[in-house]
Structure 1
């Protein structure tokens, strides 16, 4: 694992596209903003891009067509997973929904936390059992990637609609020290937290939306109108990672 070539990933999330390409969100135009983020990401020259859910706002087939068109302008392979606003069947009609990605000396496991009809997320017993099996079978440094945050982010209204079985998730993760980080969407803001384990801790990272931004630390829904769309860069090297957020004028 020593001296392996570094791997650069980018996370983008929460595009909230609608069937109408000119549709407006609360603070901007989601398709235009996504296109600006894609252009900025290309300048970073990543090896792979992860799109962590809420691709659509109106759950329409046309919104996924627009998303695929915009994301296909990326110069790197890209992969998506569903969020609470998404329709996985419509996503899969346009592009596969992988559950694992081989990153050479690393790997990423993509977890589906969507629950139909609910804003909050959950993995469920079967998915947690599968996660435990996959972690036991491969000790490469691992990223866990999902839509809903598995720990509180400090905004009361968001914490009510996070990952409902977060405690069970961390019990599964606890024995597996190869888990280096959790990446999630849903919160529309840059976030860094840690979950303490008996013999260490696992960092967890939220990502700005390509569309509207949420105000950190708010007790009820509030936009952060001073923030801009953005994305998260993740660099993997020698079993360790470095990550930071970049913002985009759009």
Structure 2
């Protein structure tokens, strides 16, 4: 479902869905490729099937904490039950703690976005919260812009980009919303920095396009480009089903 490198690029962890769900990590060898690491195969114990069912109750995303000492996986909820974060400690020998710690949001997360306070480690905090987005349908993806200091969330049902600020006290507020083309189904997104400027790259699966927004300043995102996927694919003899379009990661060749 998702993979993540540590900051040094020496360790890669994969989050798996389906009946045998959990995480497994690998050492990165420049010559021999990925080598499975002992003590990193850990189960989530979710009630899942193969192929995986969902989206409700399925695995979602995996990241390392900024200091590399924790591995964090997000798990979707099954309404009315909210999802949670599964957190493993990463030991000095690159093994993972035998069991994960579970961190849950304060209430049903299907109303907007979650803010988790991780300053005290893997534990629930009174500063963690859920912030509603009025009229949202399925807000599921987010990226952070270092230039604006804000997060950008996409909603597949309303085809809307929502800009969010989280202050030093972890209070979340909505800065501005940017409606995209009707029924374009904005899903995965990423932010890329080129020449000191940040750009939000959004997969609009319903329209089989990629939308690009320039992030000039807080509250000033502007659509600057729409890249058609279906046309070039058809010319190459490929048939694209919008329901199968998923995933967005931007790479910059320096």
Query: TM over 0.5: same fold?
Result: no
Higher helix share: 1
When normalised by structure 1's length, the TM-score is 0.30
Pick 1 or 2: higher relative contact order, CA cutoff 8 A, min separation 6.
Answer: 1
Whose Rg is larger? 2
TM-score w.r.t. the length of structure 2 is: 0.30
Bigger strand fraction: 2
